[in-house]
Amino acid sequence: MGRCPECGAWSTLVEERAAEAPPRGGAIVPSGSAPVRLSDVAAAAVPRIPTGIADMDRVLGGGLVPGSVVLVGGEPGIGKSTLLLQVAARLSERVGSVLYVSAEESARQVRMRADRLDVSAPGLFLLPETSLEAILEAVKAGTFGAIVVDSIQTIASADAPAAAGSVTQVRACAGRLLALAKTTGVPVLLIGHVTKDGTLAGPKTLEHLVDAVLSFEGERFHAHRVVRALKNRFGPVHELGIFEMTGAGLIEVANPSALYLGSGAGGRPGSVVLAGVEGTRPLLLEVQALTVEAKYGSPRRTAIGFDGTRLALLLAVLERHGGMSLSSHDVFLNVAGGAESAEPAADLAVCSAVAGSFRGRALPAGTAVFGEVGLLGEVRAVSDAALRLKEAVSLGFHSALIPAGNAGEAAAFPDLSVVPLRSVEELLERS
């Protein structure tokens, strides 16, 4: 069929033959076993292999688990090969030797990148190869402590009757590599390309097979890159790894708040510093709002780095409980520096920024804000208040607008002038 009967798009159907059943990856439980009482199962601590890159370990939940398969997805050109070459080099210092399968670039190209990154690990082995069978052969011959495959879409198995990159091939190859990892205990890192709309093309079908899915994200025009776990069988999924792309590869960002905040955040109408938390890491972000009188038609609401629906909700709260007639104004909201925030604790900062722009009033410079806002205009307590305040203090902030429900936790910061708020009305009165 030339046209998909489901979505109506042309030339999107790919032939997939129902040949031999694809290897059942992930089945690490021997068949025919009898039920055992859960409490009788010996609990073993999951051993970890630190990758040597702290932010990577943080996202993985403490390091690579032996025998695990990790899929690292990201848009082309975002820096996946760079990151994993750095990881492979560091890892080889720990596990002896690492095999980097380069199916997209020649050994010389990888060498050039390695020179640029200044990694010269003696335990790092390269294999420019696209044939799965040849890769498995090479793995059998060597004794590698970890394997990186760059990328899963460019390798192909002779057994699977489909083109490289097709769903059939991607699944077949991943299944074989998964079996390899589970039987030998060697961790395997797979690189997968993601299309512009954010789907792991082909690799999407792998998400349930692999142990962890990491997403490598960033804006092309910003130097910072973020690694986050979308799935992790051995750790949390809310941790972030933050890197900066430099001329010599990716470096970990020691102080991400300073990176995102830049200079001069806050202190002007429409600019408010949010004391946020991503995972277990505090992160100060600048929330910017701009309100202008709508010229024609229905007013525009645009949010970058923040959920548009949530913005609409907060504008309704400001209109109803704050008496601000925003329905005749366009509202633009931006989390500066290409960052984003999805936590409810950002609500109060968003309200404060919008109100600041609308009323032309600024918070005093050096003020951090956090708190959830409910539909009744109430300001609700959030988690990790102490963590947020500590980060603000360490970056030189001297005042904070926080939920009254978190005021107890603020007592530990006597140098900070804290304004506890119960409602949006109070926010407008006191700022």
The token duo for 6 is: 């489901």
For residue 79, state whether it binds ligand TYD (rule: CB under 6 A): yes
Q: How far is the CB of 84 from ligand TYD (least distance, A)?
A: 8
Which segment (19-27, 73-81, 111-119, 405-413) binds Mg ion by CB under 5 A? 73-81
- Phi-psi map region of 399: left, alpha, beta (phi>0 left; psi -120 to 50 alpha): beta
C-alpha distances in Å from residue 196, one per residue of 105, 193, 201, 261, 358? 22, 10, 10, 27, 35
Which segment (75-83, 106-114, 199-207, 348-356) binds Mg ion by CB under 5 A? 75-83
Q: How far is the CB of 210 from ligand TYD (least distance, A)?
A: 18
Which segment (232-240, 245-253, 320-328, 403-411) binds ligand TYD by CB under 6 A? 245-253
Cα separation, 380 vs 403, in Å, equals: 6
Which segment (15-23, 112-120, 141-149, 253-261) binds ligand TYD by CB under 6 A? 112-120
Cα separation, 7 vs 203, in Å, equals: 20
In the three-class reduction of DSSP (H, G, I as helix; E, B as strand; rest coil), residue 284 is classed as strand
Cα separation, 393 vs 407, in Å, equals: 16
Taking each continuous run of H as one helix and of E as one strand, the counts in the chain are 11, 18
The token duo for 43 is: 């609990």
Which segment (10-18, 109-117, 251-259, 284-292) binds ligand TYD by CB under 6 A? 109-117
For residue 81, state whether it binds Mg ion (rule: CB under 5 A): yes
* Residue with smallest beta-carbon separation from Mg ion: 81
Nearer CB in complex with ligand TYD: 117/407: 117
For residue 222, state whether it binds ligand TYD (rule: CB under 6 A): no
Nearer CB in complex with Mg ion: 126/373: 126
C-alpha distances in Å from residue 184, one per residue of 42, 60, 126, 187, 337? 21, 20, 20, 9, 43
Q: How far is the CB of 94 from ligand TYD (least distance, A)?
A: 22
Nearer CB in complex with ligand TYD: 252/425: 252
Please give the single-letter amino acid code of residue 390. K
416 binds, among ligand TYD, Mg ion, none (CB under 5 to 8 A by kind): none
398 binds, among ligand TYD, Mg ion, none (CB under 5 to 8 A by kind): none
Helix, strand and coil content of the chain, in percent to the nearest 5, comes to 30, 25, 45
Q: How far is the CB of 153 from ligand TYD (least distance, A)?
A: 12
Q: How far is the CB of 98 from ligand TYD (least distance, A)?
A: 17
Q: Residue 68's closest CA among 181, 173, 213, 184?
A: 181
430 binds, among ligand TYD, Mg ion, none (CB under 5 to 8 A by kind): none
**Contacting residues toward Mg ion, per CB under 5 A:** 81
**Contacting residues toward ligand TYD, per CB under 6 A:** 74, 76-82, 113, 116-117, 245, 247-249
